[in-house]
Structure 1
Amino acid sequence: MSIPLAPITDPYEFLQITLNADGTLTRRYAFPLSSAEPNSNISQVLSKDIPVNPSKGTRARIFLPKQALNPISPNKLPLLVYFHGGGFITCSLDLTMFHEFCSNIASELQVIVVSAGYRLAPEHRLPAAYDDAMEALHLIKTIPDDWLKDYADYSNCFLMGTSAGGNMAYQVGLLAAEEIDHLSPLKIKGLILHQPFFGGVQRTESEMRLINGTIFPQCVSDLMWELSLPIGVDGRDHKYCNPTAADGFIDLEKIKKVGWRVLVTGCDGDPLIDRQIELVRMMEKIGIQVVGHFGVGGFHGLELIDSSKANALHVVLKNFIWPSM
């Protein structure tokens, strides 16, 4: 699928947001939302919300495949902790596209998904989202929730995210690797970076080639980083944005030390692909067990809206999570 090129001159209007004088955003977009369904008679997956930190307004949504309730299937299921996208400044876990994405993963892969919400920038600049994600991990390992306690295999946990959520899966993975002894009984086995959102000061070939792409123009990416990075840092080469700059190899050693596997997915219709491939090459260079899965064509967020592409992604995820099957 080709992406028509047309200059985007106002990233605020593109995102349907307004920056207020006090530094907050007015978000005008009206994406469809989906409520949790803890007692659904139609869906193959049950879902429910749990609070993470009421004082921060953070919560998580658990997706449980109904098949897990079958008494003749006593084996517990892998636990997938998921982080939604939105450039750190938009979206939430109850957007229909993220709700359905997680529900379908839970059903097709037979895993329990916990979609962990987080506070948005610029009201809460990074590392607030990473801190919220770590708080969710610590809650998951201690909360006396029947769905998790009875059906989740805490010893087989994966961190996954899409776009900005893919960035979070990586950055939160680095934090979790340093706190591995404090996360028990959670045992993280791998990181899944689905079209992860990274950037940098120096433009890559794919960023230049798709600079005016109508799906994810470069000016929108730049604005997202401008509004989400901590004030006063060294711009888009900060480690939150550019994991291949500065101390990138030092951070990657943390993942190598704990022995986690990593999956990075993307496509060449996404301006972010060059940065994703560069990260994979860095991981390969120091001996991390990494799988890079990159398709031809497509665009950023493709699997969120194209069911056939989502089904193909499910196969890749299944092979990564269930490698012996």
Structure 2
Amino acid sequence: MKCSVLNTMSTETASSNLTVNPLEHLQVTLNPDGTLNRDRRIIPVTSAAPNPTSPTSPVLSKDLPINPSHNTWARIFLPHRSPSFSEEKLPLIVYYHGGGFILCSAASTLFHEFCVTLARELSAVVVSVEYRLAPEHRLPAAYDDAVEALHWVKTARDEWLAGHADLSACYLMGTSSGGNLAFHAGLRASASHGDLKPLKIRGLILHHPYFGGTQRTPSELRLANDLSLPLAVNDFMWELSLPLGATRDHAYCNPTVDGGSKLSDWVDKMRSLGWRLLVTGCDGDPLIDRQVALAQILQEKGAIVVRDFREGGHHGIEVTEPDKSKPLVQTLKAFLSTT
């Protein structure tokens, strides 16, 4: 698939062409104190299902607290293929949900069902992390929670994790802003990987990852009024989630700034740890140029990168349209089998 990259970016703002009101699109209201009112009816939630409804229930799930003072927790998904669980240890996927850092939850039905698919189709234990949202908790709060979850996993006294998860085969995965979280959690984890033992990360999976920058890319301009992720909504979510006063070229938002000069040491660390990176997306996503550019820069710096970019689609398509997830599942199976 041919995609433009960031060296062809335009300085055009496209502001005069934006027709989407982000508050109406997201159905939220911004309070004078900077907090956000979210209509809980807009994004349905699903309760965990810790007990099999039948001997052939494909996936069980349950919620466990991580840090009660931050109201963070994890939803664990466990494949259940027979009345008695297999003794075989399964790969572990630590998953971070999307929502532009300001919306959604590990309990949101879309992400719950996506994690069910991951656990069932990949025969993996999935730990979906509930992290703090902006603007009440601006970045790096979510990154702190993402890494804290890894330390929680390594010490959690839970029978599902202890009995069925292979802590030596851990992958960090996220969708959209969750892909951004997985990336930055990986940055931090690589610097202190020894502190995570016996948890051993083998790779990162960035699914339609959410990155930005001060200059518009051709794909952002081409899809400025995209139905899934309009440019005005993208701007609004970054405005609410970045530290106050930060520009869109802050490292949290734009790791490719200055040609990704700050990533060289991390790539060396990734390579020494044997990590591999999967970046997956589609050209119907306004963020595709940024995703392609990040994968390209990391690969040029020596990282082992698998690039999976498809034609058509839209941002987060495999989450919002589960019947379109089969190609992604096949890509994930191949990636897990070779790391």
Shorter-chain TM-score above 0.5: yes
Say if 2:259 and 2:297, in contact at 8 Å, map to a contact too. no
For residue 61 of structure 1, give the secondary structure of its aligned residue in structure 2.
Answer: strand
Counterpart Cα distance in 2 of 1:13 and 1:241: 24
State the match for 1:311 in structure 2. 326
Counterpart Cα distance in 1 of 2:328 and 2:165: 22
Among 317, 321, 324, which residue is 1:302 paired with? Answer: 317
Instruction: Deviation per CA, 1:278-306: give whole Å up to 9, x if none.
Output: 00111110111101100100001100122
Say if 1:47 and 1:63, in contact at 8 Å, map to a contact too. yes
Write the letter of the residue equivalent to 2:276.
Answer: R
Say if 1:160 and 1:192, in contact at 8 Å, map to a contact too. yes
State the match for 2:182 in structure 1. 169
State the match for 2:251 in structure 1. 239
Counterpart Cα distance in 2 of 1:163 and 1:193: 8
- Structure 1 ranges of 4+ moved more than 4 A: 68-71
State the match for 1:322 in structure 2. 337
State the match for 1:206 in structure 2. 219
Q: CA deviation at 1:253?
A: 2.9
1:57 aligns with 2:71: yes
1:24-103 residue pairs with structure 2 within 5 A?
24-30=35-41, 31-42=43-54, 43-67=57-81, 70=84, 73-103=86-116
Write the letter of the residue equivalent to 1:34.
Answer: T
Instruction: Deviation per CA, 1:235-294: give whole Å up to 9, x if none.
Output: 100000001014833335324323310000000000000000000111110111101100
1:219-234 residue pairs with structure 2 within 5 A?
219-233=232-246
29-38 vs 44-53, greater mean Cα deviation:
29-38
Counterpart Cα distance in 2 of 1:104 and 1:247: 36
Counterpart Cα distance in 2 of 1:49 and 1:252: 38
Provide the identity percentage. Answer: 56
Q: Give unmatched runs, 5+ long, in structure 2.
A: 1-16
Counterpart Cα distance in 2 of 1:140 and 1:170: 18
Q: Give unmatched runs, 5+ long, in structure 1.
A: 1-5
Aligned residues: 317
Among 31, 54, 71, which residue is 1:20 paired with? Answer: 31
State the match for 2:14 in structure 1. none
TM-score for both structures, normalised by structure 1: 0.94
Say if 2:18 and 2:232, in contact at 8 Å, map to a contact too. no
For residue 70 of structure 2, give the secondary structure of its aligned residue in structure 1.
Answer: coil
Among 178, 193, 197, which residue is 1:180 paired with? Answer: 193
For residue 325 of structure 2, give the secondary structure of its aligned residue in structure 1.
Answer: helix
C-alpha spacing 1:94/1:113, structure 2 compared with 1 (3 Å): same
Counterpart Cα distance in 1 of 2:263 and 2:82: 37
Counterpart Cα distance in 1 of 2:163 and 2:214: 47
